[in-house]
Structures are given as structure tokens and as C-alpha cells.
């Protein structure tokens, strides 16, 4: 499989892995699993779901849990080939390409588009093309799951390396996102109001949002210790409903909901945001 020369600069997810360790592996996975499980309750089911920027296919099992068919797309052929090997199912179809050009998918055919942690690493024009394509391929009333990093201080741009990160200008970010260098990950942190307004301009209404990946120190230490004894990496959203009945997980998610109940504080104390949007008429 050949691509267009693009590769995702955090090869093997090394730098992301370090952030995850800092937050605690189990808690990191649980928060996202909880949020995606809540979204699934609202979505119900989907005939066709598009995973836009699937990476190594991490969320394919979750998407399969409510979809009849999944089309998984990524621009980086290496990462896509890992996804293809790991998730070789009859109901999952793979394509190498850009979210900004989904011309092989007919209009108004998808029930759900999932775009997880892609927008934060790509040039702004590609965000715009991606949104136009999501709007085109989704049925009226179809859902867009959008996960990304955010900043309480408006749009911010960084170059993240193993040694640390530096804040850069929008122009430097755009250049780095266009010309990947191994080990230098361009990261954009979105203003929440800005992204909601942008989505509105593209014909989407907000259904639900959660601030997640809450900074270390915001949960009672005692239950974090117990949580870390849970199965860690294998806390996946498609099987979250089994875990939620565990008293410790219940306590954890109640605390997470409480944190989200105070928007200002949740925004200040989290790095990621999960949105569920619906395509309007």
C-alpha cells in the first residue's frame, strides 16, 4: 500500500504513551470508555460508520459494537496496515486516504462518522475539508463523534517532542502538520466555543459533550489506587457496560460526572474533549 508521503510523526505512539502513563493507564482508558459508552446509548445503531483517521484501528471494536459495517480510513499507510492486520473482519473495510477527500463514499449514506484525535494534528484547511466531507457522507440526523484536545485559553499550537513541548505560532504549526518529521508531533488545542461554532457553520448541532482526561490530582487517591488494579489497557469502550457495575468504577464515573457538572473547572482541569454532534437538515 503506498501513500502520498505523509506519515504520523509519533511513530509507535511513543509520546502519547508517555502522557498516558502520567495520567494513569487505567483511568485514561476508563474515562474515554465511559464517554464513548454514553454516546453509544444515544446513537443506538448505525448501518454504516466511517472511522475517519483510524490510526491503528483502536476504536474499531467499539464502532463495530453498534454498526453493521465500518469503513476505516487513514492517511498513513503504515498505521493503516497495522489496523488491517489487527481488525481483519468481514464487516470492516479499509482505505488509505485523507479525511478531506472521501469521494469514494456516496453522499448521505453513513449513520455515524467517528473522528478521534485527528483534528488536533492536521492543517486547518484539512479540518475544513474533513468537515465538508463528514457533512456530505452523513445522513440527515446522522452522528459525528469528535474527540480532540482543547484549551481554556483559545486556540493554541505546540510542537511536542520526547524532551518536552514548545508553543509555536499557527503558521509554524501548519508548516509542521504539512511536513511531518519523526518525533515532532504538531498539536493544536482548540477553543471549545470556536470548534462548536465551526461545526454549526457546517450544519451540525451539539448533542452532548464531555471534558475528559482530567489532570492528575483531581480524583480521590484511594480509589485511583484500586482502579489501577483493574485490567488497564484492556478497558475498552465496547465492553465498558460490563465494568460499570463494579462499585469502584461506578464511584469513579460518578466523580467524573460531578467534575463535568462544573464546566469552568472541568475545562481548566482537562486536556481532551469529546463531542457528539448531529447532522442537521
Non-local CB neighbours of 175 within 8 Å, separated by 6+ positions: none
Q: Does the footprint of ligand SAM cover residue 25 (CB under 6 A)?
A: no
Q: Does the footprint of ligand SAM cover residue 55 (CB under 6 A)?
A: yes
User: What residue number has its CB nearest to ligand SAM?
Assistant: 55
**Cα separations (Å) of 76 from 8, 11, 97, 180, 185?**
6, 11, 8, 11, 14
Q: Which of 27, 80, 76 is nearest to 259 (CA)?
A: 27
Member of 37, 54, 151, 260 binding ligand SAM (CB under 6 A)? 54
**279 near 142, Cβ under 8 Å?**
yes
Give the Cα-Cα-Cα angle 260, 266, 272 (nearest 5 degrees): 100
Q: Does the footprint of ligand SAM cover residue 50 (CB under 6 A)?
A: no
Residue tagged 485511583 (cell numbers): 224
Q: By CB under 6 A, which span of 42-50, 54-62, 155-163, 263-271 interacts with ligand SAM?
A: 54-62
CA distance 30 to 258: 16
Q: With respect to ligand SAM, which residue has the nearer C-beta, 234 or 264?
A: 234
Q: Does the footprint of ligand SAM cover residue 98 (CB under 6 A)?
A: yes
Q: Does the footprint of ligand SAM cover residue 117 (CB under 6 A)?
A: yes
Q: With respect to ligand SAM, which residue has the nearer C-beta, 116 or 270?
A: 116
Q: By CB under 6 A, which span of 40-48, 117-125, 161-169, 186-194 interacts with ligand SAM?
A: 117-125
Q: Does the footprint of ligand SAM cover residue 150 (CB under 6 A)?
A: no
Q: Does the footprint of ligand SAM cover residue 113 (CB under 6 A)?
A: no
Q: Which of 225, 213, 195 is nearest to 256 (CA)?
A: 213
CA distance 214 to 267: 9
Member of 29, 59, 145, 192 binding ligand SAM (CB under 6 A)? 59
Max Cα distance, the chain (Å): 51
Q: With respect to ligand SAM, which residue has the nearer C-beta, 48 or 56?
A: 56
**96 near 74, Cβ under 8 Å?**
yes
Task: Give burial (CB, 10 Å; 0-12/13-18/19+) of 251.
Answer: middle
Report DSSP state, residue 215.
Answer: P
> Binding-site residue total for ligand SAM (CB under 6 A)?
20
Q: With respect to ligand SAM, which residue has the nearer C-beta, 112 or 122?
A: 122
Member of 27, 64, 75, 238 binding ligand SAM (CB under 6 A)? 75
Q: H helices within 65-201, ranges in order?
A: 77-86, 124-137, 170-178, 192-201
Q: Does the footprint of ligand SAM cover residue 116 (CB under 6 A)?
A: yes
Q: Does the footprint of ligand SAM cover residue 237 (CB under 6 A)?
A: no
Member of 31, 38, 76, 174 binding ligand SAM (CB under 6 A)? 76
Give the Cα-Cα-Cα angle 38, 240, 27 (nearest 5 degrees): 95
Q: Does the footprint of ligand SAM cover residue 122 (CB under 6 A)?
A: yes
Q: Does the footprint of ligand SAM cover residue 126 (CB under 6 A)?
A: yes
Member of 31, 38, 74, 174 binding ligand SAM (CB under 6 A)? 74
Q: Report the interface residues with ligand SAM, using CB under 6 A.
A: 8, 53-55, 58-59, 73-76, 79, 98-100, 116-118, 121-122, 126
Amino acid at each position: 500500500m503506498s501513500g502520498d508521503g505523509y506519515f504520523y510523526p509519533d511513530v509507535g505512539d511513543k509520546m502519547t504513551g508517555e502522557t498516558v502513563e502520567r495520567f494513569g493507564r487505567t483511568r485514561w482508558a476508563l474515562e474515554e470508555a465511559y464517554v464513548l459508552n454514553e454516546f453509544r446509548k444515544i446513537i443506538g445503531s448505525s448501518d454504516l460508520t466511517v472511522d475517519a483517521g483510524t490510526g491503528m484501528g483502536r476504536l474499531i471494536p467499539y464502532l463495530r459494537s453498534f454498526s453493521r459495517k465500518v469503513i476505516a480510513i487513514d492517511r498513513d499507510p503504515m498505521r493503516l496496515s497495522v489496523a488491517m492486520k489487527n481488525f481483519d473482519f468481514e464487516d470492516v473495510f479499509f482505505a488509505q486516504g485523507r479525511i478531506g477527500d472521501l469521494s469514494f463514499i456516496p453522499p448521505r449514506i453513513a449513520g455515524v462518522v467517528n473522528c478521534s484525535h485527528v483534528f488536533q494534528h492536521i492543517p486547518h484547511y484539512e479540518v475544513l475539508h474533513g468537515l465538508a466531507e463528514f457533512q456530505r457522507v452523513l445522513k440527515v440526523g446522522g452522528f459525528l463523534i469528535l474527540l480532540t484536545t482543547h484549551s481554556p485559553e483559545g486556540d493554541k499550537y505546540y510542537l511536542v517532542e520526547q524532551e518536552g513541548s514548545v508553543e509555536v505560532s499557527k503558521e509554524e504549526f501548519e508548516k509542521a502538520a504539512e511536513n511531518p518529521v519523526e518525533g515532532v508531533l504538531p498539536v493544536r488545542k482548540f477553543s471549545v466555543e470556536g470548534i462548536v461554532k465551526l461545526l454549526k457553520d457546517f450544519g451540525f448541532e451539539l448533542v452532548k459533550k464531555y471534558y475528559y482526561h482530567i489532570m492528575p490530582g483531581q480524583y480521590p487517591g484511594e480509589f485511583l489506587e484500586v482502579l489501577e488494579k483493574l485490567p488497564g489497557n484492556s478497558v475498552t469502550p465496547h465492553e465498558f457496560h460490563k465494568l460499570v457495575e463494579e462499585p469502584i468504577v461506578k464511584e469513579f464515573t460518578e466523580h467524573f460526572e460531578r467534575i463535568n457538572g462544573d464546566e469552568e473547572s472541568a475545562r481548566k482541569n482537562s486536556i481532551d474533549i469529546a463531542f457528539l454532534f448531529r447532522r442537521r437538515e
